[in-house]
Structure 1
Amino acid sequence: MDETEKADDRDALVEYGIDDRPPLSRSILLGVQHYLTMIGANIAVPLILADLMGMPADVTAKFVGTFFVVSGIATLAQTTVGNRYPIIQGAPFSMLAPAIAIVTTEVTIQGLPSWNAKLLFLQGAIISAALVEVAIGYFGLVGKIREYLSPVVVAPVVALIGLSLFSAGDITSATNNWYLLGLTLLLIVVFSQYLDRVSRVFDLFPILLGIAGAWLVAAVGSATGVIPAGDPAYLDFGELTTETLVYVPYPLQWGMPEFRTSFAIGMFAGVLASIIESFADYHAVARISGVGAPSKRRINHGIGMEGLANVFSGLMGTGGSTSYSENIGAIGLTGVASRFVVQIGAIAMLIVGVIPLFGRVIATIPGPIVGGLYIAMFGQIVAVGLSNLKYVDLDSSRNLFIIGIALFAGMAIPAYIGNVDAAAAEMDAVASGFELFRQGLTDVPFVGSLLGTEVVAQTLYIVGDVQMAVGGMVAFALDNTVPGTREERGLADWAAITESDDQFSSAVERVSERLGGDQPPFSGD
């Protein structure tokens, strides 16, 4: 692929490239649109944890706001001094499983309520695991395996990011309001696919217009009684009241973190899954933005910065931070891959985080609207993942076998973990899902004594519940052991579009160059 073809490919994919800066007024709306794509997950994680900890309502509001502040600062850091991709950072579901295990464990700290003690142990676990992630990133461990990752591996992993949310409650709940979900999806499809050539407004803002249109319908229906209270589409306007006008979160606001080795080990399993997911996200955002695949140096800086963001998250008292797939789907729908726009969105997160009323307005967006967003955006991510197969020989039975097994295993094994949890729940909490899983490993002949240890079992249990982690490891193992040529695996063609290490420079290196200094240590090589 020559330079002209690369430029044509980029122009066909995006309206605004990574380095483009749209006019400020337009960037503000585009940034808010990017932000709105991730509200569902960034609200769901703190609410789940707050409920399990028994956190008081007034503290929960501050807890949720802190998540948005951390998300905004982490996004600014990643887009400025990290990998510099236009990708939002937010609360990770991959780290939610170990977080739930920690906050449901009975721990006590003299003089503190139960929820506060649990939160401090959660903070300690995140900080401990995050420090290892920082080392993994900046010492270049992830980048070293970059050369062993072909499109045969990356394609199913990215596709599984999109497929992982097909069963989300906002989509498949038996009591869902399919009228509102369908309306949201219909509006996004009409604006982005049919009216995009009529006006640039429809082309650039299909998500924002879709959310606004569906929200207005839900608001009118709720106010007039057409949508009854208790319906998933109902808007409770009473939730808009707040006694706190401004609350600025700060480090150690809940107290000094507490550390326990078992908690840290469990959390690292979640961090490991997060690293795998982020690795795939970097490839997805590069692909959908019309630029070359990320170099190992860019990957290392991205993972290292995510580790630092997790340390910051632990100090602030939230549930972690990682790259979000949601706004990658938004790039596909809108063609807006501008880093500047995402940074504007990060500033919007900071404002929402410190002004509780704004957060409460955002929180009124009903679940069915979020479900409609998920279908549109995560479908895009599935397609982006599969598009990497253009570099692969699809007439090769070897490649088809590996891709098929990776996709199937990536869906089946997490489903098994979910069924184990469901079986434990039916036993009236006689045993947790982890305990049942661990017992099954202990019964494995010959290696049961190793697999059944708490460290190994907990790692397998947490990582095995993350679709892209399972699919990625299966594809990686098979692609690097089953015989196949570089051309057959797509490595030859992919090498031609992968940026070289010297094409990426961190913010520290750019400042150093301007000052005439040498390359700083730990540059991610």
Structure 2
Amino acid sequence: MRNPFKLFSLGLQHVLAMYAGAVVVPLIVASSIGLTGEQTAYLIAIDLLTCGLATLLQVWKNKFFGIGLPVVLGCTFTAVGPMISIGSKFGMGAIYGAIIVSGILIFLFAPLFGRIIRFFPPVVTGSVVTIIGISLIPVAITDMGGGSSAGEAFGDLSNLGLAFGVLVLILLLNRFATGFLRSISVLIGLVAGTIAAWFMGKVDFSSVADASWFHFVKPFYFGTPEFHPSAIIIMTLVAIVSVVESTGVFIALGKICDKEITPADLTKGYRAEGLASILGGIFNAFPYTTFSQNVGLVQMTKVKSRDVIVMAGSLLVLLGLLPKVAAATTVIPSPVLGGAMIALFGMVMSSGIRMLSDVDLSNHENLLIIAISVGIGMGVSVNPELFGKLPENLQVLADSGIVAGSITAVLLNILFNMTRRKKNPLDASREKTNTEVA
């Protein structure tokens, strides 16, 4: 594709399609763990930059990494709840230590993931993603009311009006809009809600005025990485779930681009995601995975050129070097963000339910796996002191609802679905005969 203007416009379209998802993640994490406005602006900027670098790593197909498909990478919403949990308990350093280690593990064991993934069938991944989605809803509800710092103003009609106004606008766009306009419904909702909040006197642009036009990347901006076993386990589970999701995206893109995806291609794709997460940890950003909304954009536009994705990645890197752009995002009031978060987090939960739709729900044992793992996961999330008297080494595996629910799902799947002895055809025939006689 040699037309520079067309290349730029198509690349920008990909950036707009994923922009809301890219900036909402750092906004949510920052507000939940109490970062300052300046720190939040940096987090957004470095996330955009690392999204661009991660995208370029994946599209750059070489001998060692990169699947070479028109795919854009960003932070998965699956990581939001775990990052908030880790940051609240151990601090920012523990988040990035866990991200770095999980990225290294994904990179090193990429060739083995074809085997490891069998321990994460839809009944497991669906349960895990459902737990994560449900556990995020309280964060959205808090922001809808005005945020944790709202005090007596929490739940004011002005806050609820903004939150539900944004939510209704997003729903209406998804109902009546089509194509690209529908794909950026969340971004439109955030912009419209912020404009409405400005007329209500709820927007402060001082952070934008104070922000510089350009900055340099600072590795370990939020501090030296710390390595806590429970945090590493949580982020590794998130990484494995992301690999499972990415596998589906890679195969879908391969069909769209008329390219057969081989195990070697998948391995290089996993390695690129591992490298992207390592970069995310070093630059104090996030773990990265494929953005499915951009796959829909490729399918809709029929533009399969990697040059377009290189342009999109380059634009993201450029945006990440401009703090004023990031600072403009931080002015979004909590109620506006909360209204959008309800839709986004609800989609995380529904994504888990969609995964579970591929499960044989007529099988009583699968229902038990879902019921017990989701029950344990939500129970520990609501009352994390449940396992407080266990030995410290065991608490590592039980102090997070996401980890407790995930481990429960994996173990129950092994018990019910992976240890069952395959029947001999002759035995099955005799069993059928005996049943008929009875």
Whether TM-score is above 0.5 comes out as yes
Change (3 A) 1:78 1:333: closer
Structure 1 Cα separation of the partners of residues 122 and 101 of structure 2: 33
Query: Who is 1:160 aligned against?
Result: 131
- How far has the Cα of 1:458 moved from its partner? 2.8
For residue 68 of structure 1, report the CA deviation from its aligned partner. 3.2
Once the 2 structures are TM-superposed, how far is the Cα of residue 167 of structure 1 from its aligned partner?
Answer: 1.6
Give how far 1:75 is off: 3.4
Alpha-carbon RMSD across the aligned residues, in angstroms, is: 4.3
Q: Retained in 2: the 8 A contact 1:31–1:344?
A: no
SS at match of 1:249: coil
Cα distance in 1 between the residues matched to 2:347 and 2:39:
37
Change (3 A) 1:164 1:466: farther
Instruction: Tell me if 1:220 matches 2:220.
Output: no
Report matched runs for 1:445-464 at 5 Å. Answer: 452-453=392-393, 456-462=394-400, 464=401
1:15-34 matched pairs, under 5 angstroms: 24-25=8-9, 27-34=11-18
State the match for 1:366 in structure 2. 333
Which sits farther off after the overlay, 149-158 or 78-87?
Answer: 78-87
Q: 2:45 aligns with which of 48, 65, 86?
A: 65
The structure whose residues are more often helix, as a share, is: 2
TM-score w.r.t. the length of structure 1 is 0.61
What residue number does 1:518 align with?
A: none
1:321 corresponds to:
287
Offset of 1:380 from its aligned partner? 3.3
Match of 1:43 in 2: 27
Alpha-carbon distance in structure 1 between the residues aligned to 2:91 and 2:30: 12
1:359 shift after superposition:
0.7
Partner of 2:164: 182
Q: Which amino acid aligns with 1:354?
A: L
Instruction: Please tell me whether the aligned partners of residues 65 and 356 of structure 1 are also in contact (alpha carbons under 8 angstroms).
Output: yes
Name the aligned partner's letter for residue 32 of structure 1: L
Q: 2:410 aligns with which of 465, 473, 496?
A: 473
Letter in 1 for 2:344: M
Q: Per the alignment, do residues 296 and 165 of structure 1 end up closer, same or farther by CA in structure 2, a change over 3 Å counting? A: farther
Question: Does 2:421 align with 1:441?
Answer: no
Range with greater deviation from structure 2 (381-390 or 267-276): 381-390
Partner of 1:4: none
SS at match of 1:141: helix
| Residue aligning to 1:7 | none
By how many angstroms is 1:387 displaced?
A: 3.3
Decide whether the 8 Å contact of 1:207 with 1:330 is kept in 2.
Answer: no
Q: Give, in whole Å, the separation in 2 of the partners of 1:267 and 1:373.
A: 28
1:66 to partner: Cα distance: 2.9
Stretches of structure 1 lacking an aligned partner (at least 5 in a row): 1-21, 105-118, 223-233, 421-435, 443-451, 487-525
Looking at structure 2, the residues matched to 377 and 288 of structure 1 have their Cα atoms a distance apart, in angstroms, of 23
* Structure of higher RCO (CA pairs closer than 8 Å, 6+ residues apart): 2
Task: Look up the match of 1:306.
Answer: 273
- Residue identity opposite 2:56 in structure 1: L
Q: 2:215 aligns with which of 238, 247, 269?
A: 247
Letter in 2 for 1:247: H
Distance change (3 Å), C-alpha of 1:239 and 1:315: closer
Tell me how far 1:483 sits from its aligned partner. Answer: 4.2
When residues 37 and 475 of structure 1 are mapped into structure 2, their CA distance, relative to the original with a 3 A threshold, is farther
Distance 1:386 1:253 in 2: 37
1:131 paired with 2:80, answer no
Q: Which residue of 1 aligns with 2:317?
A: 350
Q: Which runs of 5+ in 2 are unaligned?
A: 1-5, 146-153, 424-438
Question: In structure 2, what is the Cα distance between the partners aligned to 1:82 and 1:479?
Answer: 36
CA contact (8 A) 1:66 1:249 kept: yes
How far, CA to CA, are the matches of 1:187 and 1:141 in structure 2?
45
Code of the aligned partner of 1:135: L
What code does the residue aligned with 1:65 have? A
Question: Does 2:257 match 1:272?
Answer: no
For residues 204-243 of structure 1, what are the alpha-carbon distances to aligned partners after superposition, in whole Å with 9 as ceiling and x for unaligned? Answer: 4433333332222222222xxxxxxxxxxx2112222125
Report the TM-score, using the length of structure 2 for normalisation.
0.71
Structure 2 CA distance for partners of 1:271 and 1:158, relative to 1, 3 Å: closer
How many residues align? The count is 393
Contact residue 329 and residue 380 of structure 1 kept, 8 A: no
Residue 413 (structure 1) aligned to one of 371, 375, 380: 380
| SS of residue in 2 equivalent to 1:76 | helix
Report if the CA contact (8 A) 2:208-2:328 is conserved: yes
Distance 2:405 2:55 in 1: 22
C-alpha spacing 1:369/1:192, structure 2 compared with 1 (3 Å)? same
Contact 1:35 1:345 in 2 (8 A): no
Kindly tell me: are residues 395 and 484 of structure 1, through their superposed partners in 2, closer, same or farther at Cα, counting changes over 3 Å?
farther
**Do the aligned partners of residues 26 and 125 (structure 1) sit closer, same or farther apart at CA in structure 2, a change above 3 Å counting?**
closer
Change (3 A) 1:152 1:385: same
